[in-house]
Structures are given as structure tokens and as C-alpha cells.
Amino acid sequence: MRQIITFFSLLVLGQLLQTALALESKAIYKMHEDNVFQIRVLNRETGKKSGIGSGFIVDNGLKVATNFHVISQIITEPERFTISYLSKNGRSGPLKLLGLDIAHDLALLGSESPLGQANKMSALPPKGSTIFAMGNPLDLGLTIAVGTNGGILNQTDDSRILFSGSLNPGMSGGPTYNDDGEVIGINVATARNAISFIVPSHYLNRLIERVKKTPLAADQDLKIEVTQQLIQYENNYLKGILDQDWPKVQLRQVSLPGAISPTVRCWDNSQKLADKVLYKRYQISCANQNQVYLDSQNKFVGNLNYHYFWLESDELNALQFYNLYQKLNEVKIGSRVSPDVISNFNCKNWFVDASQQTFKTSLCRREYVEYEGLSDILFTAALTGHENTGLFVRLTMTGIDYEASLPLIQKFMESIEWTP
Amino acid sequence: MDTLILEIHTPGLHRYEVIDKPRIRIGRAFDNDIILSEPTVAPYHLDIIRDDDGHIELHNLTDVNPARFNGQAKKSISLGKLPIDIKLGRIEARIVLPSQSVADTKTLPGNGQSQHWFSHAFWGVLLITVCLIVSAIDFHIHSFTNYKWDTLAKLVARETALYLVGLIFFLAILERLIFNRSEIKPLVVVISLSYLMFQLITPLVAELNYIFTSHLPELLFDITWYAILMPFIASLYLIHIYHQKRSNSAWLAMLLCSPLIILSAIDVTQVLGYLDSFSAAANYHRDLSALNWQNDVTISIVSFIEHARLLSPGVVSD
């Protein structure tokens, strides 16, 4: 009995102690107000800021961590822009780029002179814990936002923590603290309505270690570095998808690949048709959630989307049905990019046998102008030879190595199973 | 001097007056011997005077739009070598001898049979009816909802009948402006036949597109239809219905079809330019066919991937 009382007394004491030790937002703000900066991308000619974000001191006090997307302008136009920091008390100075982690939207910057006390890193606290995000929202000054840890999101390839709190533009690259004031992640994005995302701190630790071993050379072509990192990440991502068995989804008479990765979510997009319409159509759309920021022109790449579109009719004759089938196939697929950043699509058609059915397939490829080796791919397949049944398969991938995408297309086609 | 003939050129059939009196006065006033009701003709425009010896003189009577003889403005001339061209205001005329030779008679094509066929109301009504039936079938094939008969009829009336009537009306006005007459019946027959030909060829072209997995048949058809076939049909129409010379009819047909030729040329230029200019959209061959006749062989997935490996990226636009 005494042991039980002692156990519970210790437990209660521990909780009280933990509560007493846990810092409040006011204390965390006070503790870190001098080691969280506004990161500014300045135009060399005017000296004025072209983009802003947040950053914080890490490692030996000479490095600043931020998001890649905050400073991405110096990748595309290094001759026009430079990076600097601005502290809460008005101290400022230049920063240079030491390392990048494109896949996780991280950048490590360095200063010639000591910046202050470095932040301590920590692992992610349990789900539901209170966490605190610091940054400079909308150029309004340093602030702190309180929220809770929603855990690591597997649909983002484990690259994001769900933060139930408000991040705003300008806070990107700022630190997120646990209640001990240790960095558990880096602010990165928001979906509004207090749904925000944070990069886990272990990716930052990995970047710091990599920079120590192989820092970026002063004359290094950053676009090549960006391309290589992106291709490496996407190739690993595709390999992970190809190495596992794919779940199936049944769409009327055909079995098709379902959510082929934990990062992919599938939705039924079938539309309700009017009663007088003489056909039925069903649609399933799948898309991944782990896009990667490339630059201000191309925005995000790493999309993996696929759509299935089934069409059937017992009442339309073959001529009517194929007129409809073709009409629905004529929807153009594209994106809002300019010729400065990407080439035209080059497309070719083949008739391909899959599961004893003939598909009219088309494969289109275009390449990024400034990131040699990165391609966007569009693959479509339309079932042929059936009087009143149609199926479109449409697969798009962006910012990917073309060669690496072909095994995925092959497995995709091989996974189609016709069930008469 | 013998009796002479004054040939007055008016739209449609020319007018002929015999000059056999000592004095003939021409003008717009009602007391003239020959009255020309043309606003540019003066009330008293020209005197033709024959003396006792039979010599004829032409006297200009007006300072406004004075008469011109063989293109020259003179107060008066003595009539010498005939024929002589005279311009009275906007009216063109000439004085000729009764023995003046005339052009050979134009024979009607097929002994007039084709004109007979083209001009027969029965064929016009029949072909227009066939056009409306074909149009109804076309609407039915391209409709995916449960159309009732009255809806289909309204659609045909609104889309096809109105279009055909409008086109016939427009071309009839054009005929009237150019030839001062309108041949409605042959116009109806030719327009109906052209419409039916278009309705027949278009699906065949779509089928060819699918067979060759190419848009070249459609492109060639567009060029052929608008730049060759339409002017050819118009030219035949002018030769057979209006008895124009071949060279004249060819030029006139090209002129009449020039809006269509220009539009198709713009279309083709755009298609060709489209291939070179930047497009954020993927333009792949999307045609599908119920017949499913294809020139390309069906290949295995592995073979497809091998072929796909050779696909190069698109061209970077300047």
C-alpha cells in the first residue's frame, strides 16, 4: 500500500515539476528574441528587400537556418540578389549560402562574425504537446504563435509536422520550439485556418553535418546542385514506390493501382449526371502531398497525380459513344508556365497491349530550361476496341528524371487488370 | 449612209435603238428621242445629226458630264470609222453598223440538260430535305442526352435550316449585285450538294486521322476544301449557270471564295505556327474511333517503354 502511495505521490510530483519547468510563450519569446532574425533577400542595385522570411542561429553561432524558399531568388539570380539578416534590436549583416536541402525546403546560411547564442535542437515532443513558432509575419516584427503538435505526416514523406497554430507569410524559416525552448522544427508553410506545417529538426541536423563535411563551393553552380538534390530525392522516392506492392482499386470492369505510396491520397471525383444523360461516368483522382519547392517561377515540383476516368453506356450507339469518348478526351492538360522556364511538350503515340486490351497511349515530355535533367511527364492511355465502354488513365509527374519515371509507367500499365 | 444602230449598255440585256432620222436627241428629259433615265445623264446630252449627203455628226449638248467619243471629250465629231464608243454620264454605248458581226452563240453544257437539272425545283426541295435529314442524323450522333423528336426538329431548324437559308439568301444577293439577276434554284442545288459533300467527307477525314494517328489528313482536307474545292465548285457554277468564260469564272470564284481561303490559310498558319510556338498544354493525338482501324501495330508494354526511352523533350521556344 505504501509503495502504491509513494508511486502515485512521485507521479503527481513529477507532473507538477514538469508543469513548473515548462516554459510559457512569454518566457520562450524572451529567451529567443535575440537569436531569431528576419532573413532578407536584398536587391544589390537598390539595397531594398525583395523577399523576407525568418531564420535562427544554429550550430556554432555562425550559422543561420531558414527555408530554401525564403532565399531561392539567389539560386535563380545570384548576380541580382544578396542575403542579410536583421535582428529585433536592429542589428544586421550579410549572410552567405552554405548548404541546401531542397527536398525538405531548408537552407543553411553563414556569417563572418558571431551572431549570438545558438538554439538547441530537440526531438519532436508527443502528439498534442504545446509548441511555439517564432518569426516575423508580414514584416510586422518578431512574434510567437502557440499551437499543438499534430505529429509527423506520412503523406508528406515524413517531411512535415502538422502544427495546429497560425503561421503567416514571413514566418517561414523561423524556429518552432518545444516547451523547453528547444528547436523541434522549422516553420515552412500554412494551409490557413490554423493548419500549418513544420520541417522536423533532424533534417536540419543532417544538413548541418553535411555542410561541415562538404560545404558549397563559392563558385558552385547552384542550379546544378538544386537539380542533383531534386533528382536524388525523386529517384529515391520513386524507388520506394516501385519496391512495394501496390494496392488495387476496382473501377467497374478494371482493377487499377490505388494509393501507390503513403504520400498519395485518392478521391472519388465522379460527378452526378442529369437523368436525361444516356451514359455513366466514374472518376478517381489520386495525388501525392510531398511537392518540393523549386523556385518562384516554377513553384512546386515533385507532383505525382493520376486519374482514372471510366465511361459506359447501354443506350448510346457506337458512333454516339465514340463521339462522346473523344470529346471527353479533348480536354487539354497543361500548366501556367512561361517559355522562359520550360520547353514545349514533345508527345508521341503508341498502341499498347495491357491485360489483353489495346490502349491508345501518349507520352509527353518537356524539360526545365534552367534545370537540365528535370522533366515534366504526361502519360495517357485510352482503352480502345469496346463498343460502349471507355477508360482513360492519365498520369502526370513534374520535376523528375525522365529515365527514372519510365519504370513507374511500366509498372502502372502492368498493374492494369481487365476483369470481364 | 445606211441605217445605224445605237447599242446602249445597261445591266442585264443591252438596249438597241435604230438611228434612221435626220436628228436624234438623247438625254434624260422626256422630250428626247431616246430617253436614258440615269442620274449622270444630262436632260439634253447628245445630238446625232444626219445631213442630206448622209454624213453624221455627233454634238455634245452638256457641260456636266460631257459626252466622250472613243474616250475623248470633244464638242462634236463627224462619224467616220465604226464602231465608235460613246460615254454619256455613266452610260456606255456604241454606234455600230447593222452588219456588225456578233459573238458566237454559247452552247448550253450537256445540251442544256445540266441547267435543266440544276434549275428544277424538285431537286432543290429534295436536296434541302436530304440536308435536313443528314443534319438531324449528325445531331443525333453527337448528342449524348435523350433528345425528343421536337427538340431535334427545333435544333435542325435553328442550326441547319437557318444556316442554309441564310447562305442561299446571301449568295442570291451577291448574284443580283454581280449579274443583276438571281438563280435561286441552281443555288439551292449547289449549296445542298456542297453541304452533303462536307457532311460525308468530314467523318472520313476523322477516320483517316485515327488510322494514321496524325492530324495531317484534317489539315490537307481543310486546305483542299476551302482553297481548291470551294472555288472549283463556284467556278463550275459561274460557267454553267452564268456562262462566264473559264478564266473569268476562275478569277471570280477565287475572289468570291477569298474570305474562306484567307480564313483557312490563317487556320493552317496557326496550326503550323502552333507546332513551333510555346504551349503550356500537351498537344497529343486524342482522336478515337468506333471502327478502331489503325495503321500502327499494337506493341507490348516492354516494347513501349523501349520506344519511350528515345522520346526527346520538346523544343525550347525563343
Domain assignment present for B208: yes
Question: Is some CB atom of chain B closer than 8 A to the CB atom of A324?
Answer: yes
Range of the domain at A73: 20-220
CA atoms within 13 A on the CB side of B317: 18
Considering its fold, how many domains does chain A have in total?
2
A306 and A282 in a common domain: yes
Question: Is some CB atom of chain B closer than 8 A to the CB atom of A342?
Answer: yes
Q: How far apart are CA A312 and CA B13, in angstroms?
A: 66
B155 and B58 in a common domain: no
A45 and A28 in a common domain: yes
Say which DSSP state B145 is in.
Answer: B
Confidence (pLDDT) at B107: 64
B71 and B23 in a common domain: yes
Confidence band of A16 (pLDDT split at 50, 70, 90): very low
CA B202 to centroid of chain Cα atoms: 23
CATH of the domain at A71: 2.40.10.120
CATH of the domain at B25: 2.60.200.20
CA atoms within 13 A on the CB side of A236: 7
A212 and A236 in a common domain: no
Angle between helices B216-223 and B184-211 (to 10 degrees): 160
B187 and B133 in a common domain: yes
Domain assignment present for A13: no
User: Is A12 or A3 the better-scoring residue by pLDDT?
Assistant: A3
pLDDT digits (tens, 9 = 90+) for B14-63: 899 998 888 999 999 999 999 999 999 999 999 999 888 878 899 999 99
Confidence band of B94 (pLDDT split at 50, 70, 90): very high
B225 and B133 in a common domain: yes
A233 and A207 in a common domain: no
A331 and A276 in a common domain: yes
Q: How far apart are CA A58 and CA B298, in angstroms?
A: 59
CATH of the domain at A381: 3.40.1000
Range of the domain at B55: 4-96
B160 and B36 in a common domain: no
**Residues, chain B:** 318
Question: Is some CB atom of chain B closer than 8 A to the CB atom of A365?
Answer: yes
B141 and B253 in a common domain: yes
Judged by CB atoms closer than 8 Å, whether chains meet at A278 and B286 is answered as no
Q: How far apart are CA B165 and CA A382, in angstroms?
A: 41
Considering its fold, how many domains does chain B have in total?
2
Judged by CB atoms closer than 8 Å, whether chains meet at B308 and A342 is answered as no
Domain assignment present for A43: yes
Nearest C-alpha in B relative to A411: B301
258-297 in chain A: CB under 8 A from chain B = 274, 276-279
Domain assignment present for A162: yes
- What mean pLDDT is predicted for residues A29-51? 92
Domain assignment present for A286: yes
Burial of A148 (0-12, 13-18, 19+ CB in 10 A): middle
B241 and B167 in a common domain: yes
For residues A177-201, one letter each, b for 16 or more C-beta atoms within 10 angstroms of the residue's C-beta and e for the rest, the string is bbbebbbbbbbbbbeeeebbbbbbb
Domain assignment present for B235: yes
Domain assignment present for B51: yes
Domain assignment present for A3: no
Among the candidates A187, A220, A253, a domain finishes at A220
pLDDT digits (tens, 9 = 90+) for B179-223: 877 888 889 999 999 999 999 999 999 999 999 999 899 989 988
B260 and B128 in a common domain: yes
Domain assignment present for B256: yes
B49 and B115 in a common domain: no
B21 and B155 in a common domain: no
Domain assignment present for B299: no
B153 and B74 in a common domain: no
A156 and A34 in a common domain: yes
Find which of B204, B218, B295, B301 to mutate to test the A interface (most A CBs within 10 Å of its CB).
B301
pLDDT digits (tens, 9 = 90+) for A205-264: 999 999 999 888 877 888 999 999 999 999 999 999 999 999 999 999 999 999 999 999
Contacts of A398 in chain B (CB under 8 A): none
- Flag whether the ipTM exceeds 0.95: no
Domain assignment present for A196: yes
A245 and A100 in a common domain: no
B83 and B138 in a common domain: no
